[in-house]
Structure 1
Amino acid sequence: MSLCITMKSIKNRSTLILAVLAIAMSSLSACHSDEKEKQEQQQQEQQEEAVETPPVDLVPVEKGKLSSNIAIPGELIPYQQVDLYAKVNSYVKKLLVDIGSEVHAGQLLVVLEAPEINSQLAGAQSRIKQYEAIYFASKATYDRLLNTSKTPGTISLNDLDQAEAKKNADLANVESAKSSLKEVSSNLAYLEIRAPFDGVITNRNVNLGAYVGPGGKGSDPLFTLQDQKRLRLVVSVPENFTGALSTKSEVDFTVKALPNQKFKAKVQRLAGALDEKLRSERLEMDVYNKDKKLLPHMYADVNVPLPAGDSTFIVPKTAVVTSTEKVFVIRVVNHKAEWVGVKKGFSSDDQIEIYGDLKADDKIVKVATDEIRNGSAVKDK
Structure 2
Amino acid sequence: MKKYHKIFSLLSLAALASAGCKSPEHKTEVSKPVPSVAAFAVAKGKLSTSLTLPGELQAYQRVDLYAKISSFVKKLHADVGTQVHTGQLLAVMDAPEIGTQLAGAESRLRSAEAVYSASKANYDRLQKASATPGIISPNDIDLAKARQLSDFALFQSARAAYREVKVSQSYLEIRAPFEGIITARNVSAGAYAGPAGKGSELPIFSLAEQHHLRLVAAVPDAYATYLKTSGTVEFKIRSIPGKTFSARISRLAGALDSHLHSQRMEMDVTNGTQDLLPGMIAEITIPLPAKDSTFIIPETALVNSSRGIYVIKLHNGLTNFITVEKGRQLGNELEVYGPLLAGDTLLTKAAEEISEHSTFKKIVLRKVEQK
Q: Quick check: TM above 0.5?
A: yes
Residue type of the alignment partner of 1:132: E
Q: 1:222 aligns with which of 189, 194, 204?
A: 204
Task: Give the direction of change, closer, same or farther, for the CA distance of 1:376–1:157 in structure 2 (3 Å limit).
Answer: farther
Name the CA distance, whole Å, in 1 between partners of 2:45 and 2:133. 105
- For residues 142-291 of structure 1, what are the structure 2 equivalents within 5 Å? 142-147=123-128, 149=130, 155-214=136-195, 219-291=201-273
Q: Is the counterpart of residue 363 in structure 1 residue 353 in structure 2? A: no
- Alignment TM-score, normalising by the size of structure 1: 0.80
Q: 1:111 aligns with which of 78, 84, 92?
A: 92
Q: Is the counterpart of residue 353 in structure 1 residue 335 in structure 2? A: yes
Q: 1:328 aligns with which of 282, 307, 310?
A: 310
Residue type of the alignment partner of 1:180: A
Q: Is the counterpart of residue 91 in structure 1 residue 46 in structure 2? A: no
Task: Give the direction of change, closer, same or farther, for the CA distance of 1:146–1:288 in structure 2 (3 Å limit).
Answer: closer
Aligned residues: 339
Name the CA distance, whole Å, in 1 between partners of 2:242 and 2:293. 37
Quote the offset at 1:196 in angstroms. Answer: 1.8
Q: Residue 27 of structure 1 aligns with which residue?
A: none
Q: 1:122 aligns with which of 103, 108, 129?
A: 103
Task: Give the direction of change, closer, same or farther, for the CA distance of 1:248–1:379 in structure 2 (3 Å limit).
Answer: farther
Q: 2:43 aligns with which of 58, 62, 82?
A: 62
Task: Give the direction of change, closer, same or farther, for the CA distance of 1:375–1:163 in structure 2 (3 Å limit).
Answer: farther
Q: Is contact 1:85-1:215 (8 Å) kept?
A: no
Name the CA distance, whole Å, in 1 between partners of 2:153 and 2:206. 44
Which runs of 5 or more structure 1 residues have no equivalent in the other structure? 1-30
Quote the offset at 1:155 in angstroms. Answer: 5.0
Name the CA distance, whole Å, in 1 between partners of 2:186 and 2:173. 17
- Alignment TM-score, normalising by the size of structure 2: 0.82
Name the CA distance, whole Å, in 2 between partners of 1:149 and 1:247. 75
Residue type of the alignment partner of 1:199: G
Q: Is contact 1:229-1:288 (8 Å) kept?
A: yes
Quote the offset at 1:66 in angstroms. Answer: 1.0
Name the CA distance, whole Å, in 2 between partners of 1:249 and 1:54. 50
SS at match of 2:350: coil
Which runs of 5 or more structure 2 residues have no equivalent in the other structure? 1-23, 364-371
* Larger displacement relative to structure 2 (326-335 or 195-204): 326-335
Name the CA distance, whole Å, in 2 between partners of 1:379 and 1:80. 69
Name the CA distance, whole Å, in 2 between partners of 1:371 and 1:254. 45
Q: Deviations over 1:74-93 (max 9, x none)?
A: 11111211111122221111
Q: Deviations over 1:53-92 (max 9, x none)?
A: 7653212112111111111111111121111112222111
* Larger displacement relative to structure 2 (146-155 or 305-314): 146-155
